[in-house]
Amino acid sequence: MAIEQTLVKVERDIASGDYGRARDRLHGLTATYPNDLALRRKLGEVYWQLQYPAMAGRYWYLEEDKSSDMVAACHAFERWCGDNSFQTLLSLKFRGDLASIDSAFAKQTLRALQSRVEEEYGCHVAFGKRGAEKYQWTPVRKPRHVVACVVCVVAVLAGLGLMVVGLVTVINWLF
């Protein structure tokens, strides 16, 4: 079935108040056409009508021109994700190709989230891939971790040295 025919059915479902069916149809379309951001916008509108602001924010997050309702929904979505960049990026469920989308704002938003996740968690999330191929982990080494490890090793060695001195002292005292 062509996208136009499905969108006509979505509009018919919305007009009749069957938002659940419209939601399901739009989910199928976004899975089939992940680069079409207009489908995400429409899905956000359906979730807003269903009174799920966090879910509406999930699908409106990549929109540049947001109404006050859209901004409120996006804030609800961020709170739902615990204001965590990694959770936000994963919850957006963008499975398209970043180079193929038309919106410069959406590209910039996704790249900014991707950069924050790489910096904070050492994980590069590749768009358009599924499963383990989507995540490329790199170890995050920060200098303060190295200093903390050195301090711990020195403290353990000092403790062992003091125990040996104490043991020798007790043995000399007994004999």
What span, in angstroms and rounded, lies between the C-alpha atoms of 90 and 78? Answer: 12
- Percent of the chain at pLDDT > 70 equals 94
pLDDT at 113: 92
Pick from 102, 105, 34: nearest CA to 64 = 105
H-run or E-run covering 77 = helix 68-80
User: pLDDT digit string (tens) for 32-72?
Assistant: 998 899 999 999 999 999 999 999 999 999 999 999 999 99
**pLDDT (0 to 100) of residue 139:** 61
Per-residue pLDDT of 66-92, as tens digits, reads: 999 999 999 999 999 999 999 999 899
pLDDT score, position 120: 86
Burial 26-47 (b: 16+ CB within 10 A, else e): beebbeeebbbbebbbbbbbbb
Q: Is 37 helix (H, G, I), strand (E, B) or coil?
A: helix
Q: Is the pLDDT of residue 144 over 70?
A: no
pLDDT in tens, 82-140: 999 999 998 998 888 888 888 889 999 999 999 998 888 888 888 877 776 677 776 65
- Sign for the pseudo-dihedral over CA of 26, 79, 144, 154: negative
Phi and psi, residue 160, nearest 5°: -65, -40
CB 118 within 8 A of CB 124: yes
Chain segment 7-33, per-residue pLDDT in tens: 999 999 999 999 999 999 999 999 999
